[in-house]
A = this chain, B = another copy of it.
Amino acid sequence: MPVYRAPVEETLFILNEVLDLPAFRDLPGFADLDPDSLEAILREAARLFEDVWAPTNQVGDVEGCMRHPDGSVSTPAAFKAAYDAYREGGWLGISAPEEYGGQGLPGVLNSVVQEFASAANLSLAMYPGLTQGAIAALFVHGDEEQKRLYLPPMIEGRWSGTMNLTESHCGTDLGLIRTRATRNPDGSFALTGAKTFISAGEHDLCENVVHLVLARIDGAPPGVKGISLFLAPKFLPKADGSPGERNEISCGAIESKMGIHGSSTCAVNYDGATAWLVGEENRGLAAMFVMMNEARLAVGTQGLAISEVAYQNALAYVRERLQGRALTGPKNPQGPADPLIVHPDVRRTLMEIKAFNEAARALMLRGALAADIVRRSPDPAARQAADDALGLLTPVIKGAFTDSGFANAVAAQQMFGGHGYIEDWGMSQFVRDARIAMIYEGANGVQAMDLVGRKLARDGGRAIMAFFAEVGGYCEAHADEAGMAEFLTPLAAGLEDLRGATVWFMNNAMANPDNAGAGAVDYMHLFGRVALGYMWARMAKAALRRPDDPRMATKLVTGRFFMERMLPETAWRRSRVEIGADSTMALAEDAF
């Protein structure tokens, strides 16, 4: 059975030494995260996810979810106790507002916990993950009554949340939504329609399920401008807040999926279900975007999480499995063969995953810190700068991390040879589970278009200019420091590729927007490499402060590998962007 060890030391290094969390102590909630408290919390989390969650992952995959004839859905038998341990530990609400029962700690801490949880058991992590997204949307857009009734049990983890967007004929294109909302005399609405692919739409882990549903109020304008957000609980809360009468909401089916078998993916039917408007009429998409942006970062984190756990298991295997001899002569001459780790191609694969994971963790936490600043900083300029950075990073973290996370899971599986293909060894599950992250919360091609088509141009390119200034400025500021040149020279070259590709879009996408579309995915990966390279430069700087620490020496070796072998991909990506759309679009549709 696969094992998992939460990367506590890595995370502490990033938070304390790279992102310098102590410098943010004046923001609300941050004062509680001094290094000692932080370490204590992470070690506590590690125990939960390593010892309680991870052992439920493979059995959950095998058992899967089951829908019963009465429409109820049971999750794998091992899940309830693991979920309860998480709920009782208060993990769901660590970053939730204190006035509704949360602990108010920084969101960056919640991102750490999301990584550990997703690595230990991605399917199980989905349930509280959805709840957290729903909490965020309700906190920002709900009215006082809604918050008072719903937030406390959700923050406690007794009630869970969902996002109901997709219908069978529309996923990305939400303007096509058909679910109808009819006004009731008492100010509530009656929802009628069928939603599909609803994660955690029905399950047995919680007392109640709080659906956030996109629907169209009778008479609303067509397209995305006529969509509103509704709250529709499975059980209508009584005045005292306890679950009351059953709402007209039912699970019609659960999907048979490639992976995340323990996550119940439901077709949810609304048959005149009682619901309440959240936020303004016809502004539902804006309200849902609060949830979607949170979720996109969380899904990017899932890519990293699977990459990490797959790496750990592959590393253990290639250290143990004896097969063949090193090209440079036997390394285990007393044994029948050398361990697989002696082979350069195995080592290359390990290094590529390791170098991704460590920088991706830093970037993920940098994104989460930006989200904290947006929410908690008193300084409008700091909030705007953080919001700009977050807007750029969200599609990159979602798209690039999940593509790489899947590729890394496949590469880790490959190191197992034939055993990788056998379900018992658990590597297949990592690959199958990782695959969804490239698709949900906006397929990665959609993320790339969000980056290229919306985020680059917004506010006259303010966000991307600020990114260039930050990374370019970092390269200049530290150029003369001992040991930094080998990190900053390649980073500057990568940044130049990103700048060149950006300028190319500016010059060519206006005349032909297909030029943006054809290069968007390459650009997203190009951006991802540069952003990871920037994290490596900052990690190297931190590591150089303690050159005698063997962990820091390892860090520098890994960073050099990234700079030498992984960052230069930017040149290839840029060249593909600059080819443009002509050959891509040259073939007539009917000639395929």
Contacts and interface: CB of A to CB of B under 8 A. Distances in A.
A445 B343 contact: yes
B575 A568 contact: yes
Contacts of A453: 327
Interface in A572-592: 572, 575-576, 579, 581, 583-587, 589, 591-592
A166 B592 CA distance: 42
Interface stretch (A129-137, A367-375, A413-421, A458-466): A413-421
A417 B172 contact: yes
A196 to B, nearest CB: 8
A401 interface: no
Contact of A592 (B257, B354, B420, B448): B354
> What is the interface residue range for chain A against chain B?
35 or more
Contact of A414 (B196, B346, B438): B438
A431 interface: yes
Contacts of A512: 328
B172 A324 contact: yes
Nearest to A518: B344
Interface string A146-177: 00000000000000000000100111110110
B589 A517 contact: no
Given A319-B589, A344-B585, 4 more contacts: A173-B323, A258-B422, A414-B443, A418-B440
A129 B555 CA distance: 48
A587 B554 contact: yes
A553 B565 CA distance: 39
A516 B344 CA distance: 8
A327 B516 contact: yes
Given A323-B170, A585-B347, A439 B418 contact: yes
Contacts of A438: 414
A197 B258 CA distance: 23
A520 interface: yes
Nearest to A324: B173
Nearest to A566: B576
A323 B418 contact: no
A423 interface: yes
B514 A327 contact: yes
Contact of A351 (B197, B324, B422, B584): B584
A337 interface: yes
Residue of A341, A343, A581 most packed against chain B (CB within 10 A): A343
Nearest to A572: B572
A561 interface: yes
A255 interface: yes
Given A438-B414, A584-B561, A513 B327 contact: yes
A344 B581 contact: yes
Interface in A496-515: 512-514
Contacts of A242: none
A435 B421 contact: yes
Contacts of A550: 591
